[in-house]
Amino acid sequence: MLPESPLSRPRTVQRAVLYLGASAIWATVMLGALWVRLIPPPPGSSNVVNVISVLVLALATWKIASGRGWARWLFIVMYVLGSLGGALTLLLRPELFRVLPSMMIASAVIQLVLQTIAVALLFMRGSREWFSRDRSESSSQGAL
């Protein structure tokens, strides 16, 4: 089955992909700034985790744009794990946030806002129906 054209995507999915793309680009810019030390890396941080996160976010964004429902769930798992990790760290070890450069704190807030909007858009009625239609069409074609 060929992916549907961008014009046939509901506006909610189009906007979610836009927000996710902005999130992936912002994460890439921040990763680059850390890499070249424009922003001092926090003690004990690893670029490997950041690179993997950016790659998975980019893959999820691309596949969501292609209408793959599993990518929507991959993103929601990443979002929940990242949000829970950040919230737990803030509650249990708030001193860790005090040593972060202000640009990294601002980046975390920007990412939270962009990704929260994308989650909401991906689970609105039009998006849910579009992703389920994709699944029903592929299962009916498999029965032929």
Helix axes 11-35, 125-142, angle to 10 degrees: 100
Taking only the tens of pLDDT, the chain with its 144 residues reads: 445 455 588 999 999 999 999 999 999 999 999 999 899 887 777 788 889 999 999 999 999 999 999 999 999 999 999 999 889 988 998 888 888 888 999 999 999 999 999 999 999 999 999 998 855 555 555 444
| pTM recorded for the entire structure | 0.84
Enter the tokens of residue 40. 């001092």
Write down the domain spans for the chain. Answer: 10-131
Cα separation of 49 and 15, whole Å?
27
Backbone angles phi, psi at 3, to 5 degrees: -65, 145
Q: Of 86, 90, 108, which Cα lies nearest the Cα of 30?
A: 108
> In this structure, which amino acid lies at residue 42?
P
